[in-house]
Amino acid sequence: MSDQSPASQDPGARSHSEPHHRDSGARLNWLRAGVLGANDGIVSTAGLVIGVAGATTSPQALLSAGLAGLLAGSLSMAAGEYVSVSSQRDSEQASLDLERRELAQDPREELAELAALYQGKGLSADLAVEVAEQLTAHDALGAHAESELRIDPGALTNPWHAAGASFRSFAIGALLPLLAMVLPPAALRLPTTVGSVLAALVLCGWISARLGAAPIRAAIVRNVAGGALAMAITYTAGTLLGHAAR
C-alpha cells in the first residue's frame, strides 16, 4: 500500500492548497510588519518625548515634540516602504516582462523548461510534461512565474498600500508614549510613560515572536531591553542638554 497522501499523488490538489498557504503567509507578513512598525513608533517617540522631558517640563514643548516626531516618523516609514516596495515591484515586473517575451519567442523551449522544473520536484518525466502542458494551456505566464520566479503575477504588492500600512502602524505606536507623557500630571509623566512603553514592548515582543514562531522570552527581553536603553540614553542626553542651556 502506498503511503502517499492524495495531495502528493495529485499535483492539481497540491496546487489548490498552495495559494491558500501563500495568502496566509502574505497576511502574516503584513501583520508582522504592522507590529514592527508600531514597535518602532513606540520606541522612537518614547525616546523623543522622554529626552525632551529631561530638558524641560513644559507640556507645550512635550506635545509639540511628540507630534512632530509622530508625523516625521510616520512619513519616513511610509516613504521608505513606498520606495522599497516600488523597487521590488519594478524588479518583479521586469522579470515577468522577460518571461512573457521568452514565451512568445520560443514556447517549445519554455514548455520543456517548465516540465524539467516539475520533474526536478519529483514528478515522472511523462507526468511532468502533462502537468506542464495543462498549466501552460491554462496560464502559461502564471505557471512559469510561479515555478521559475516565485512570483504571483496577480498579487504584486501595491507600494501605496504598503506605505499607508507603515504610516498607520507607526502612528498608532507613537500615540502611546505621546499621550502617556502629556496627559498625566507633571509628577507622573515620566513613570507613566516608561511603564506604559515597557508594557507595550512586552506585548509587541510577544506578538512578533508568536507570528514568527520564535522563542517568546528572548524576543520580549530583546525588545524591552532595547526600548529601556533608548529611553535611558535620550533622557540622560536631554537632562544634560537642559542643564547646559540654563
pLDDT (tens digit, 9 = 90+) per residue, 126-138? 898 888 888 888 8
**Is residue 8 situated within a structural domain?**
no
- Using 50, 70 and 90 to split pLDDT, how confident is the model at 206? very high
Give burial (CB, 10 Å; 0-12/13-18/19+) of 241. Answer: middle
Instruction: Give domain status of residue 164, yes or no.
Output: yes
Domain that holds residue 55: 38-245
Predicted local distance difference test score (pLDDT) of residue 78: 93
In a domain, 4, yes or no: no
The structural domain count of the chain equals: 1
In a domain, 33, yes or no: no
User: Residue 22: CB partners within 8 Å, gap ≥ 6?
Assistant: 152, 155
Phi and psi at 150, nearest 5°, equal 60, 40
Asked, for residue 31, whether it belongs to a domain, the answer is: no
The verdict on residue 146 lying in a domain is: yes
Residue 166: all three cell numbers together: 507603515
Region 9-30: mean pLDDT is 52
- The overall pTM is greater than 0.95: no
Residue 128 belongs to some domain of the structure: yes
- Which long-range contacts (C-beta less than 8 Å, at least 24 apart) are formed by 226-231? 226/43, 227/42, 227/43, 227/46, 227/197, 227/198, 227/201, 228/198, 230/43, 230/44, 230/46, 230/47, 231/46, 231/47, 231/50, 231/194, 231/197
Q: Is 12 contained in some domain?
A: no
